[in-house]
Structure 1
């Protein structure tokens, strides 16, 4: 449990970060107070990322958004997200028994590997309103397309020869699609962009939408089971299950980006 001193230090650090961020923004406001022409114009482009000034990782690439303005009040936009993860853990350590007496079979190192790739595209449009010299409120709509691929590989061992076991052989069980999905949806959005300096702005957005998520089919290929079936002279059949451990879903309701968007106009 944290002491009072630790809590005070944590609160002080948070306040320090807050005041520092606000001071920087205030400085930019003051430095540009007498200048005009902050907001977007026809032909401008913009790039955006998410920004959490008080978080451990201030800038987050949870999707990069590109905007193209056909006029001061109209923009096309595209949000692109690509996420990849790869994790590995040891299920069993290797055991060397080459010098053992009497002779016994040694264990192989066995691992489990999980990888996933998610791709998301959200094309949309924005309609901006007059606002102020620096503030540009808008409404809009976007489509939502996403696809996630997942693969799990589990290693196992079986003796090379069951009758006269001399060593173990390594086999892999591969499961594809367990956490995979495809999502389609549509969102109505509303938000604002606030230009704190020329060509730089921060913004926030919320929306309301509907989406349908389709579960991926699960496909399992077990090399160890295939080898055992071969030795027993029976037919091995790969497992294919569209519902196993994975369900689709339908969602309708509000959605909010809890981070600040920071954008660059060019």
Structure 2
């Protein structure tokens, strides 16, 4: 009787072990991440001892604002980064804006090698050169553009760019004239030359430049450009009000100035990425 029970136990153990081996599954998972599109794919493979396999794949995308994979040691800007910069001159006795339109510029990197750029400037100035004279000037400019960056080195990022230049200046002056008269000047704030006149500017610029990253996401740079532009200078209207109330108005026609040529943008660009 003992031999029969022992034999039954051995047979049962054999079939239970075979069933467990048949149900054993090996799972392998492989994840692939796209460095350009920001899409990741996960592949899961299941194998069993009977020779059957089952493979499933899932993918996900980080969307438009996902940063591209950084291949430069996280030193330079990559897709999704935003940079802010100013072109400053520290050799003129003080720090001052010194690019062609005195702008602060922002950039948004569409990818590791493409960026949108936008330079802006807005200022309002009133001066009193002498007690009898007051001048006012309002200046505004905007320069949207696009950049193409090249490989360079781990720290150097050379690029070319194209941008649209739009700017305007409004000028005005008030002063005391002879014999208790008052003089108002519309369209200029000085002696009437083009340096003190109001204007409207439109132009195009072809730019070459570079960023050099001195630390993680902190850079300095320089730019050269070829610019095509036209400035339409304001008409000057001088209104003189005499002591007896008589008003005398004189007008000077406006003019325009067309220019094309290289523009060396004085000063060093200093910026950071965030």
Residue number among 78, 99, 117 corresponding to 1:41 in the alignment: 78
Q: Are residue 175 (structure 1) and residue 212 (structure 2) matched?
A: no
Whole-Å Cα distance in 2 between the matches of residues 141 and 119 of structure 1? 20
Deviation, 1:72, is 0.7
Residue number among 217, 228, 235 corresponding to 2:235 in the alignment: 217
| Post-superposition CA distance 1:34-89 (Å, at most 9, x none) | x9211111110000012334442135373110001111111111111123332214
| Post-superposition CA distance 1:7-56 (Å, at most 9, x none) | xxxxxxxxxxxxxxxxxxxxxxxxxxxx9211111110000012334442
Whole-Å Cα distance in 2 between the matches of residues 224 and 45 of structure 1? 57
Q: Partner of 1:132 in structure 2?
A: 153
Q: Partner of 1:253 in structure 2?
A: 261
Q: Partner of 1:149 in structure 2?
A: 170
Q: Normalization by structure 1: what TM-score?
A: 0.66
Relative to its length, the structure with more strand (as a share) is: 2
Q: Are residue 69 (structure 1) and residue 130 (structure 2) matched?
A: no
For the 8 Å contact 1:141–1:188, the answer to whether it is kept is: yes
Q: Normalization by structure 2: what TM-score?
A: 0.65
SS in 1 for 2:177: strand
Out of 111-120 and 52-61, give the one that drifted further: 52-61
For the 8 Å contact 1:180–1:216, the answer to whether it is kept is: yes
Unaligned runs of 5+ in 2: 1-71, 189-196
Deviation, 1:115, is 1.7
Out of 45-54 and 177-186, give the one that drifted further: 45-54
The size of the alignment, in residue pairs, is 192
Alignment CA distance shift 1:222-1:237 (3 Å): closer
Q: Partner of 2:127 in structure 1?
A: 87
Whole-Å Cα distance in 2 between the matches of residues 251 and 204 of structure 1? 22
Runs of 4+ in 1 over 6 A off after TM superposition: none
Unaligned runs of 5+ in 1: 1-34, 92-110, 159-169, 229-235
Alignment CA distance shift 1:225-1:149 (3 Å): farther
Whole-Å Cα distance in 2 between the matches of residues 37 and 89 of structure 1? 51
For the 8 Å contact 2:241–2:248, the answer to whether it is kept is: no
SS in 1 for 2:117: strand
Q: Are residue 57 (structure 1) and residue 94 (structure 2) matched?
A: yes
